[in-house]
Chains A and B, each alone.
Chain A
């Protein structure tokens, strides 16, 4: 190309790499498959429920399990698959953080776009904007997007720290399994073991430290299932129901995104490739 020589701009390079990754994923079929899956899920749910608010509840179950899983697996797969391209880029005078962050945002961005469009289109067609469920649905999409960002970041971290593909894949799935299932098991055990003690603040804290639990609780309380939660629910409602609680939760989700992303760029800078 005949572009004049420019000064090196890290952000612009990052965005360029982001674009490459994004279009690369768009060209590969997986993005479409993911998008079509959500599109179909949305239509089927709405067809069966025919009521937006009920569909949102069912959708929550899917989102808090599937979105993290797909984020994790996709992240690991993409990282290992594009290793040669990454090594090529590393040979160029480009900042390392730009390479890895660009790739990360490319993957996470395309997954998020698939999720938001895939679910957004059917719900919009079924009259989301006239419905009261719009805020619940928006919250669902926001937490879904956050979960994608968080778990893709975790997957990238694991892949970066493990040269061995099988090992990296195993750890990534284990990380998902831990946060989605095992954590709740330990949480439950501790609640039962310490049932003699006041547990409300403990459970509030325990919820905060797991992005999946945090998303689930946020959505549950918004969906007015809180009445089921009795006394504990009242305390949770007091916390999450207020603007402060929502704010703190979003901050927590944000931290869950920022810390792995920061570690990603930190490790990438120092790693010997």
Chain B
């Protein structure tokens, strides 16, 4: 084409771009003073540039495919009047806003940003404070929630909302968000094919992540720390949990992860550290647990019943008060080649696995399951003695529940 051709192309592109998307600037001294007005005058695919300042607005309806960009974090103050931004159009981008004072209601779930039945949205670099619900995605598809910071001030469960909530949504990526001090950090209900990645959800009242009736989802490399109850994953199929960290969920009813009615999941490379219960499992089948680290938990794994065909391979169990609690004599789960810090066996043939099997269920753990009050005898000499005698000749604990090849060295 030659040099002129390139220039021509460039000009055409520039021109076309101008034709397609204009920029409307919103600021206190501009022609357009409010965001609502800006949206009203904008054409489809325009960019709304919001300058620094405070905008006291609520119920902003985004009805057109727009890009709304905040410059130096303009503040949108809802003054506790209700919902702040509602997106009802496809192809909307929201970037760099600081939204505060979402109204609290006992009848409506007011959110800072709500996306309703829309596709291809992007919400990024948004800071939310003093909120009820944060980012609420409702029946939406193909969107991305990226790098937002949600800091709530929730005190009671009944009058607080969730940080990021997905309801009947599909194909959404939730990435690099920080959620703190809300009811549930991230909440999913009836949402499939969601990727939740690199988020930090901490200090929330109830769950760091709450998952219901949502299938084929992946969550990866997230950190869930010091939440009221930990992470709850319920009634879902084909979930992948990879490389997450669950720590310091410490309290009488806390756990790292609660799995309830979860089937065909994969739980790999996660770290469970200093939780009252690392994983609490109930009615979950065909789950592969591998390469996880269970460190210094009260119970590393608590199996509550109706769990079949689960495999625990190549996990590290280190310094937990109890490695495993099990409430039935029937065992259909496989424990193999894990590292147990409590293992006292030897490896004469030097093949890396212990020569005598390890029994992860201690007698004390069995007794505590039967009569919870007996936990008060934790760390007493009597318990150590009967645990030892049970280890030598098992009578009460499930006979076939053994790791036949306990590793001698921990897995890196």
A interface list, Cβ under 8 A from B: 60-61, 64-65, 180-182, 184-185, 187-188, 191-192, 195, 199-200, 203, 207, 212-213, 216-217, 220, 224-234, 236
| A231→B377 contact, CB < 8 A | no
What chain A residues lie within 8 Å of B251 (beta carbons)?
A: 227
What chain B residues lie within 8 Å of A195 (beta carbons)?
A: 370-371, 373
Name the distance in Å between A144's Cβ and chain B's nearest Cβ: 15
| B376→A217 contact, CB < 8 A | yes
Q: Give Cα A223 to B254, complex, Å.
A: 17
| B382→A188 contact, CB < 8 A | yes
What chain A residues lie within 8 Å of B370 (beta carbons)?
A: 192, 195
Q: Give Cα A217 to B378, complex, Å.
A: 9
Q: Give Cα A199 to B378, complex, Å.
A: 16
What chain B residues lie within 8 Å of A225 (beta carbons)?
A: 298, 321, 378-379
Q: Give Cα A61 to B371, complex, Å.
A: 23
Q: Give Cα A207 to B380, complex, Å.
A: 12
| A227→B276 contact, CB < 8 A | yes
| B379→A60 contact, CB < 8 A | yes
Output the nearest chain A residue to B384 by Cβ-Cβ distance.
A61
What chain B residues lie within 8 Å of A200 (beta carbons)?
A: 373
| B373→A203 contact, CB < 8 A | yes
Given A195-B370, A232-B373: A220 in contact with B381 (beta carbons within 8 A) = no
Name the distance in Å between B316's Cβ and chain A's nearest Cβ: 18
Output the nearest chain B residue to A60 by Cβ-Cβ distance.
B379
Q: List 13 A-B contacts (CB under 8 A).
A: A64-B380, A64-B381, A182-B382, A184-B383, A191-B374, A213-B380, A220-B379, A224-B250, A225-B321, A227-B251, A227-B276, A229-B375, A229-B376
Output the nearest chain A residue to B277 by Cβ-Cβ distance.
A228
A-B CB pair tally, cutoff 8 Å: 80
Given A188-B367, A227-B254, A231-B252: A61 in contact with B379 (beta carbons within 8 A) = yes
Q: Which of B252, B321, B376, B378 has the most CB of A within 10 A?
A: B376
Name the distance in Å between A54's Cβ and chain B's nearest Cβ: 9
What chain A residues lie within 8 Å of B383 (beta carbons)?
A: 184
Given A181-B382, A232-B376: A192 in contact with B367 (beta carbons within 8 A) = yes
What chain B residues lie within 8 Å of A185 (beta carbons)?
A: 382
What is the interface of chain A mostly: helix, strand, loop, or mixed? helix
Name the distance in Å between A115's Cβ and chain B's nearest Cβ: 18
Output the nearest chain B residue to A204 by Cβ-Cβ distance.
B376
What chain A residues lie within 8 Å of B392 (beta carbons)?
A: none
| B381→A65 contact, CB < 8 A | yes
For window 213-257 of chain B, which residues contact chain A by CB distance below 8 Å?
Answer: 250-252, 254
B2 at the A interface (CB under 8 A) = no
Output the nearest chain A residue to B297 by Cβ-Cβ distance.
A228
| A192→B379 contact, CB < 8 A | no
| A227→B298 contact, CB < 8 A | yes
What chain A residues lie within 8 Å of B6 (beta carbons)?
A: none
Q: Which of B372, B373, B378 has the most CB of A within 10 A?
A: B373
What chain A residues lie within 8 Å of B385 (beta carbons)?
A: 181
Q: Give Cα A199 to B374, complex, Å.
A: 10
Name the distance in Å between B349's Cβ and chain A's nearest Cβ: 29
| B376→A203 contact, CB < 8 A | yes
Name the distance in Å between B373's Cβ and chain A's nearest Cβ: 5
What chain A residues lie within 8 Å of B367 (beta carbons)?
A: 188, 192
What chain A residues lie within 8 Å of B371 (beta carbons)?
A: 191-192, 195
For window 240-292 of chain B, which residues contact chain A by CB distance below 8 Å?
Answer: 250-252, 254, 276
| A184→B382 contact, CB < 8 A | yes
**Contacting residue for B373 out of A181, A182, A199, A224, CB 8 A:** A199
Q: Give Cα A65 to B377, complex, Å.
A: 14
**Contacting residue for B375 out of A64, A182, A184, A230, CB 8 A:** A230
Output the nearest chain B residue to A196 by Cβ-Cβ distance.
B371
Name the distance in Å between A20's Cβ and chain B's nearest Cβ: 35
Q: Give Cα A229 to B375, complex, Å.
A: 6
Name the distance in Å between A8's Cβ and chain B's nearest Cβ: 46
**Contacting residue for A227 out of B250, B373, B376, B380, CB 8 A:** B250
| B374→A192 contact, CB < 8 A | yes
Name the distance in Å between B43's Cβ and chain A's nearest Cβ: 58
Output the nearest chain A residue to B319 by Cβ-Cβ distance.
A54
Q: Give Cα A227 to B250, complex, Å.
A: 7
Given A181-B385, A184-B382: A234 in contact with B373 (beta carbons within 8 A) = no
| B377→A230 contact, CB < 8 A | no
Q: Contact string, B369-412, partner A, CB cutoff 8 A, digits 1/0?
A: 01111111111111101000000000000000000000000000
Q: Give Cα A263 to B161, complex, Å.
A: 64
What chain A residues lie within 8 Å of B374 (beta carbons)?
A: 188, 191-192
What chain B residues lie within 8 Å of A232 (beta carbons)?
A: 372-373, 375-376
Output the nearest chain A residue to B372 by Cβ-Cβ distance.
A230
Q: Give Cα A64 to B374, complex, Å.
A: 19
For window 329-385 of chain B, which residues contact chain A by CB distance below 8 Å?
Answer: 367, 370-383, 385
Name the distance in Å between B272's Cβ and chain A's nearest Cβ: 15
Q: Give Cα A236 to B372, complex, Å.
A: 13
Q: Give Cα A199 to B373, complex, Å.
A: 7
Output the nearest chain B residue to A199 by Cβ-Cβ distance.
B373
| B379→A230 contact, CB < 8 A | no
